[in-house]
Amino acid sequence: MAVLGRYSAGRVFRVSQVKAYLDSTGPFLQAFRGRNTDDLMAYYVERCGIEDGMRILDAGCGVGAPAAWLAQRFPALKVEGLTNSRVQAEHAKLAIEAAGLDGRVSIRQGDYHDLSSLYPHAHFDRVLFLESLGHSHNIRQVLYGARDVLKPGELVYIKDFFRRRSLSSDLQKKIDHAINVINGNYLYHVMQLPDLVAACMETGFAIDSISPPRIVPDLQLTVDFEHKAGRLTYPAFSHLHAVDWYDVMVRREGLAVQR
Ligand SMILES: C[S@@+](CC[C@H](N)C(=O)[O-])C[C@H]1O[C@@H](n2cnc3c(N)ncnc32)[C@H](O)[C@@H]1O
């Protein structure tokens, strides 16, 4: 099978995976969401306090659907989308061009572990990780770079899922098994929430808020995707509560500057 692109260092995924996503979930490559992507994006706008005129970095931008949605709703917004997948970047660039947004949305192929060398210092008002940070093999490196490219006093938003923990060693073994299956199938490094909190604090962020996403997910989207991609993860945890989803908002220390 032809090789399509890279998700995380040294790992490859197949052509069928992006096609399976596009066929089953459409261009928003997110698992925890309903079918109405306008509602989903409106939720992010409110949660992140996105306002027209801001500069946004969509780190792990997929095929550019969230970036395009934002630019269409906010005429003075500037969005940078970054993905480490060449094929996703190509899809995204074509979609942005077709939507006439090429002046305001810019897509780049690159690694979010290198943010400081990809973007100017103190450049963005928001950095978004929409189900993307969990691919990282080194969240401290990513966060350190995010801090560098973010303006003082501004926000990083992370929506992702986290390993559950239990006092019962039997239950913990089952959870860990499920997590290993997820990590293998999705090339993920499922995070632990306390570790993300520690990493944010160590890299110069103050914790602004942590809450479960106010999103009602349609998990059938993921089931459909997994059938199309021929890679079933959900049986490993269908009877087990192995992960929790959270919205994590952190603020770069320092005084906010007027836009
Ligand atoms: C589940 S998809 C989410 C895509 C997008 N946020 C969306 O909502 O459609 C995860 C994204 O993270 C990207 N990604 C994973 N590792 C990355 C890295 N090291 N640098 C940049 N992007 C990365 C993948 O290529 C993919 O675009």
Residue 145 domain-assigned? yes
Residue 258 domain-assigned? no
Residue 125 domain-assigned? yes
Residue 163 domain-assigned? yes
CATH number at residue 231: 3.40.50.150
pLDDT tens for each residue of 103-159: 999 999 999 999 999 999 999 999 999 999 999 999 999 999 999 999 999 999 999
Residue 142 domain-assigned? yes
pLDDT at 183 over 50: yes
Tell me how far the alpha carbon of residue 206 lies from the centroid of ligand 1, in angstroms.
24
Higher pLDDT, 214 or 256: 214
pLDDT at 8 over 60: no
Top mean-pLDDT range of 68-72, 179-183, 255-259: 68-72
Sequence-separated (6 or more) residues with CB below 8 Å from residue 29:
21, 62, 63, 65, 131
State residue 26's pLDDT score. 84
Mutate-to-test residue for ligand 1 from 38, 79, 135, highest number of ligand atoms within 8 A of CB: 135
Residue 110 exposed, middle or buried by CB count within 10 Å (0-12, 13-18, 19+): middle
Q: Give bridge partners of residue 191 from the DSSP assignment.
A: 162
Tell me how far the alpha carbon of residue 13 lies from the centroid of ligand 1, in angstroms.
12
Residue 116 domain-assigned? yes
Residue 213 domain-assigned? yes
Sequence-separated (6 or more) residues with CB below 8 Å from residue 135:
7, 8, 60, 186, 187, 188, 189
pLDDT tens for each residue of 73-84: 999 999 999 999
What is the percent of the chain with per-residue pLDDT over 90, rounded to a whole number?
Answer: 78
Cβ distance 52 to 79 under 8 Å? no
Could you tell me if the CB of 17 is within 6 A of ligand 1?
A: no
Question: Residue 197 belongs to what domain range?
Answer: 3-252
Could you tell me if the CB of 132 is within 6 A of ligand 1?
A: yes
Q: Of 93-102, 108-117, 231-240, where does mean pLDDT reach its minimum?
A: 231-240
**How far is CA 42 from its chain centroid?**
16
State residue 6's pLDDT score. 36
State residue 36's pLDDT score. 95
β-bridge pairing 105-109 and 78-83: parallel
Residue 141 domain-assigned? yes
Amino acid found at 33: R
Tell me how far the alpha carbon of residue 6 lies from the centroid of ligand 1, in angstroms.
10
Tell me how far the alpha carbon of residue 83 lies from the centroid of ligand 1, in angstroms.
5
Could you tell me if the CB of 7 is within 6 A of ligand 1?
A: yes
Count: domains in the chain: 1
> pLDDT category, 9, cuts 50, 70, 90?
very low
Q: Where do runs of H (alpha helix) occur along the chain?
A: 15-24, 37-48, 65-73, 86-98, 115-118, 139-149, 169-186, 193-202, 220-229
Other CB atoms within 10 A of residue 95 CB:
18
